[in-house]
Amino acid sequence: MKGAMTPHEAAERIPDGASLLIGGFMGVGTPERLIDALVARGARDLTVIANDTARPHQGIGKLVVARAVSRVVTSHIGLNPETQKQMIAGELEVELVPQGTLIERIRSGGMGLGGVLTPTGLGTAVEEGKQIVEVDGKRFLLEKPITADFALVAAWQADYVGNLAYMLTAHNFNPIIAMAARTVIAEPESIVPTGVIPPDAVKTPGVLVDHLVLRND
């Protein structure tokens, strides 16, 4: 089975100071066992790149409450007062990125592109310090690609060679972040023999996945 390990073993491979792309939308499609293992390990100084920070004691919010995170790149913190509290106190750096821009920056990182041209944010604080490119008389912000040391992916199923399938809204960020990290650790609900997942249901091919996380330590 491809790179199989327990959540504890996976957390030990992620050093303090690492950058993490984490899937999920308000906790849906977030690898909870991996997050719990990072909290248990006492991880520190992580950079988390994700759609949101969920709620305290849910998903990425557990990392925030444990003060494992020093920087967040995200589109939404409105439902996590702990994120807001740490940001206001200067204890947590928060970079807010429009949601569509964020996922496109990650996609461009995974595809090896030079960035994203978008009109979103023109004339606002989002524009500050960024290059403006004019195309056919229209102005766009150049948003640079995002990559990370690790992608922590939640999947519905994995097979023995690491092919991944997702269920419903848990698709969200997961297939995209799996393309944009140097090491991809996938936490599936179940691991099945190769061939069980129909080829057209595979959204992340096994060649992109380095490790599969087992259900129990």
How far, in Å, are 98, 108, 182, 183 from residue 113 at the CA level?
19, 5, 16, 19
d(CA 5, CA 22): 18
Strands 116-118 and 19-22: unpaired
Average pLDDT over residues 14-37: 97
Q: How confident is the model at residue 217 (pLDDT cuts 50, 70, 90)?
A: low
Give the per-residue pLDDT at 100: 95
Domains and CATH numbers, the chain: 7-212 (3.40.1080.10)
d(CA 177, CA 114): 17
DSSP state string for 155-214: EEEEETT--EE--GGGGSSHHHHTTSEEEEEEEEEEEE-TTSS-GGG-SB-GGG--EEB-
pLDDT in tens, 38-87: 999 999 999 999 999 999 999 999 999 999 999 999 999 999 999 999 99
Q: How confident is the model at residue 215 (pLDDT cuts 50, 70, 90)?
A: confident
pLDDT in tens, 195-204: 999 999 999 9
- What's the mean pLDDT when you consider all of the chain? 96
What is the b/e burial string over 164-185, where b = at least 16 CB atoms within 10 angstroms of the residue's CB? bbbeeebbbbbbbbbbbbebbb
Can you give 92-148 as a three-state secondary structure string?
Answer: CEEEECCHHHHHHHHHHHHHCCCCEEECCCCCCHHHCCCCEEEECCEEEEEECCCCE
The answer for residues whose C-beta is within 8 angstroms of residue 101's C-beta and 6 or more apart is 116, 118, 120, 121, 143
Q: CA 43, 3, 149, 131 torsion: positive or negative?
A: negative
pTM (2 decimals)? 0.95
CB atoms within 10 A of CB 135: 8
Give the per-residue pLDDT at 55: 96
The answer for residues whose C-beta is within 8 angstroms of residue 131's C-beta and 6 or more apart is 141, 142
Average pLDDT over residues 140-148: 97
Q: Which of 77, 74, 72 is nearest to 91 (CA)?
A: 72
d(CA 11, CA 35): 8
Q: Which of 121, 13, 70 is nearest to 130 (CA)?
A: 121
Q: How confident is the model at residue 139 (pLDDT cuts 50, 70, 90)?
A: very high
Backbone angles phi, psi at 80, to 5 degrees: -125, 95
pLDDT at 123 over 80: yes
d(CA 212, CA 27): 20
